[in-house]
Amino acid sequence: MKSLVIRGGRPLRGTVSVPGDKSISHRAALLGAIADGETRITGFLRGEDCLSTLRCLGELGVAIEDDGEEIVVHGRGSEGLDAPKVPLDVGNAGTLMRLLAGLVAAYPIQATLDGDSSIRRRPMDRIAIPLRTMGAEVSGQGERCLPPISVQGGDLQPITYRSPVASAQVKSCVLLAGLRSEGVTRVIEPGPSRDHTERMLAGFGARIEQRGLTCELTGPAELVGRSVRVPGDISSAAFHVVAGTVVEGSSITVEGVGVNPTRTGLLDILEEMGALVTRGPVSQADAEPVADLRCATSALRGIGIGGDLIPRAIDEIPIAALAACRAEAATVIRDAAELRVKESDRIATTACLLAAFGARVEAHEDGMTIHPGPLRPAEVESEGDHRIAMTGVIAGLAAEGESRVRDTACIDTSFPGFVEGLRTLGADVEEVTE
């Protein structure tokens, strides 16, 4: 088992870059697979989750080349996807499970989607319900449709779906399923969610329109392969930004980060807390805005985090909770019950992790209250969750002395090069085998 030993209390300084955005990498490969012609992707995240996307597409008959610099996806276009001969293994990728189910449902094929032990605990009823309404056959384990799930698609009808939650994964699943349907597939959400799918569908040539919280796709869509440049992942940059904010004496620049406004919830949280975080001039990577992020050690104040902010920061809540440990008053996080069904129960695992580092945290059904206080060195478990593991490492850097985070191989799911990037900033982090 891999673990990380962290010797904290040293300032972090310098410039670092982060791997390509995971959400955008998934979508670029999936849309490229069903487009006419080649799709060339630069900046593709070669983490385990996105490599699972490439493997699953290969099982569906999609030819993919990777020269280490560029991913080339040879789109199937009018040929469609092949029925897979084996179950499609998504590994630990919840986004892939939900988006792939929608993509498969659009074609007259049957596929079984499965994953690791964490995926098998994640309910899929949120996508099963709209897919069944469209005419797909979807079955899983128990009332919540736990994986493995079976999807039989083809000849789907467009629907108007009112999602009970603001979820880019649910929205994207329905839109992908509607790509070959005659008419308008419409998704109405109760609040804003990530819009990477809508932006990318438009870039590939789909007729798609966004009006407030309603998204409409007119099918059938004829997608055309294209070049896609993936910006740096803001969910990865979040760990460096918070490190620069809470580790005494630090000043960090993270280059080339995607700052899509549906994803910048953490930056808004930190700015409201009084953090010294600035965004450089915004440029464009295709349809996605990109900027450098600069941060420095800051005096923080406690705030309330909830409502529409949560979907824009859902993956960053654990590291935001760490920042709250250094504030001058309590921070209350609410409306985040979705964290209960991530790679781990992130409300419980975040509270446990921060408590080990000396924080006083009260877990609630839909969030937590974090009372500030000094951090002390600790030995903690990742619980197999990459974001919990990385939050533990940053907590160790903010605490004086030696800390240890166990079971850290999971970090490669989303952030290969995480440790190396911290070392370039002056962090003392050692990988050990236990």
Identify whether the C-beta of residue 346 lies closer than 8 Å to the C-beta of residue 387: yes
Q: Which long-range contacts (CB under 8 A, 24 or more apart) does 359-366 make?
A: 359/325, 361/321, 364/334, 365/337, 366/334, 366/335, 366/336, 366/337
Half-sphere exposure of 327 (CA within 13 A, CB side): 26
- Residue 142 CB contacts under 8 Å (≥ 6 apart), including other chains: none
The CA distance from 221 to 8, in Å, is 53
The span from the first CA to the last CA of the chain, in angstroms, equals 5
What is 179-194 written as a DSSP string? Answer: TTSSEEEEEE-SS---
Three-state secondary structure string covering 84-95: CCCCEECCCCHH
Determine the residue type at 380: V
Q: Which helix (H) or strand (E) holds 372?
A: none
User: Tokens 């996080």 label which residue?
Assistant: 333
The CA distance from 319 to 293, in Å, is 16
Of 227, 212, 179, 185, nearest in space to 42 by CA: 227
The CA distance from 245 to 316, in Å, is 15
Cα 120 to Cα 22, 107, 172, 260: the distances in Å are 21, 24, 21, 30
Identify whether the C-beta of residue 254 lies closer than 8 Å to the C-beta of residue 246: no
Q: Is 197 helix (H, G, I), strand (E, B) or coil?
A: helix
Does the CA dihedral 361-363-368-369 come out positive or negative?
Answer: negative
- Residue 28 CB contacts under 8 Å (≥ 6 apart), including other chains: 39, 41, 44, 73, 200, 228, 230
Instruction: Establish whether 407 is a catalytic residue.
Output: no
Tell me phi and psi for residue 35, to 5 degrees: -85, 165
Q: Which helix (H) or strand (E) holds 33?
A: helix 22-34
Of 315, 335, 407, 428, which is the active-site residue?
A: 315
Catalytic residue numbers read: 315
